[in-house]
């Protein structure tokens, strides 16, 4: 039977085994999905040895999402541009095909959580310029956002992102983050602010227009203060768990031959 899994270090916190395990049971598929702890030293050796053990592919989590690009034999344009991969598929001839489905998960989550959302409706404001922001920004550009207003505590990281993704990105200083919100059709927090146990999110959201679609990639807690503040302004809010669930869809379909559903049952199963 086909095997898949997730590689990371550590990997015990990953929700992917619950996610794919739920889908395997729900569709009655004879397959498995394991958490595979792999150190950086052992990364290439492990990846090359997995196909012989029946693996058809793996998800990749921290800290390996960038390093796997050097090992893979074939990359999608998305993975190349984002500079990271989260979904590997092993071809029958042993070649490793690397893709990044985070942007896909991000967009699908918005469509499902806010059915009237349209990237083309106006500028998207993005807080943060780390790894997650790269996938978010690329997918917003692909979806037709007319402008990306990007703000990050460390401005050179935002500038590096604009160098990669082009002129549709306008950079605003982090201290001014609150002042660009009136223009936003979409607002995304990609920073780690607001995560359980971490620092609080302090950017004032008073300028947000009612009807702006607001999403957070933080999903612990599921309802962040950022989302609560946006909801108070009359915004449509979408939590970040769905991005994680949707990013798993393309891999599951490639590995197990069934396009899985993301619904409330699944949300309950992974939490
Ligand atoms: P990820 O892969 O989840 O994006 P990351 O690459 O470490 O993680 O990026 C974390 C993001 O949260 C960055 O945009 C970071 O800002 P810096 O580039 O200035 O580091 C942002 N972030 C983390 N802590 C922050 C804080 N206390 N204030 C503002 N931004 C913060």
For the stretch 4-62, pLDDT in tens is 999 999 999 999 999 999 999 999 999 999 999 999 999 999 999 999 999 999 999 99
Domain with CATH 3.40.50.720 in the chain: 103-243
Report the C-alpha gap between 192 and 201 in whole angstroms. Answer: 9
| ipTM associated with this complex | 0.96
39 contacts 9 by C-beta, under 8 angstroms: yes
Question: Could you give the angle at the alpha carbon of 238 between the alpha carbons of 34 and 14, nearest 5°?
Answer: 15
Question: What is 3-101+248-264's CATH topology?
Answer: Rossmann fold (3.40.50)
Report the C-alpha gap between 208 and 212 in whole angstroms. Answer: 7
Mean pLDDT of the 48-77 span? 97
162 contacts 150 by C-beta, under 8 angstroms: yes
Report the C-alpha gap between 147 and 160 in whole angstroms. Answer: 17
Mean pLDDT of the 258-264 span? 98
Residue 167 has pLDDT above 90, yes or no: no
Mean pLDDT of the 76-88 span? 97
Domain with CATH 3.40.50.10860 in the chain: 3-101+248-264
Residue with tokens 């030293």: 41
Which residue owns the Cα nearest ligand 1 atom 26?
Answer: 193
pLDDT at 23: 98
132-157 per-position pLDDT tens digit: 999 999 999 999 999 999 999 999 99
CA of 174 to the centre of ligand 1 (A): 12
Which residues carry out catalysis?
65
| Percent of the chain whose predicted confidence (pLDDT) is above 70 | 100
- Termini Cα distance of the chain: 27
CA of 153 to the centre of ligand 1 (A): 8
Report the C-alpha gap between 105 and 168 in whole angstroms. Answer: 22
| Percent of the chain whose predicted confidence (pLDDT) is above 90 | 99
Strand pairing category for 87-90 and 124-127: unpaired
CATH architecture entry for 103-243: 3-Layer(aba) Sandwich (3.40)
Atom of ligand 1 minimally distant from the CA of 190: 4
DSSP per position, 195-243 = -TTSPPP----TTPPTT-EEEES--SSSS-HHHHHHHHTT-EEE-THHH
Q: Give the pLDDT band of residue 170 (cuts 50, 70, 90).
A: very high
């Amino acid at each position: 039977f086909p095997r898949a899994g997730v590689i990371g270090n550590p990997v015990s916190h990953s929700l992917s085994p619950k996610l794919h395990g739920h889908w395997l049971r729900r569709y009655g598929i004879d397959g498995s999905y394991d958490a595979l702890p792999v150190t950086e030293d052992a990364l290439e050796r492990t990846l090359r040895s997995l196909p012989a053990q029946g693996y058809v592919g793996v998800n990749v989590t921290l800290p390996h999402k960038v390093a796997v690009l050097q090992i893979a034999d074939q990359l999608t344009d998305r993975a190349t541009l984002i500079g990271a991969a989260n979904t590997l598929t092993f071809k029958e001839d042993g070649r490793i095909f690397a893709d990044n489905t985070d942007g896909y998960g991000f967009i699908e989550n918005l469509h499902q959580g806010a059915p009237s959302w349209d990237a083309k409706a106006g500028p998207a404001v993005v807080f943060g310029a780390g790894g997650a922001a790269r996938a978010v920004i690329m997918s917003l550009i692909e979806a037709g956002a007319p402008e990306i207003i990007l703000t990050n505590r460390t401005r050179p990281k935002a500038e590096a992102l604009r160098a990669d993704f082009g002129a549709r990105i306008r950079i605003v200083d982090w201290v001014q983050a609150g002042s660009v919100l009136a223009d936003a059709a979409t607002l995304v927090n990609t920073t780690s602010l607001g995560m359980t146990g971490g620092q609080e999110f302090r950017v004032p959201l008073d300028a947000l227009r009612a009807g702006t679609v607001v999403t957070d990639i933080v999903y612990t807690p599921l309802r962040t203060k950022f989302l609560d503040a946006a909801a108070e302004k009359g915004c449509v809010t979408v939590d970040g768990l769905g991005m994680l669930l949707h990013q798993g869809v393309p891999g599951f379909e490639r590995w197990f031959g069934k396009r899985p559903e993301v619904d409330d049952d699944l949300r309950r199963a992974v939490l």
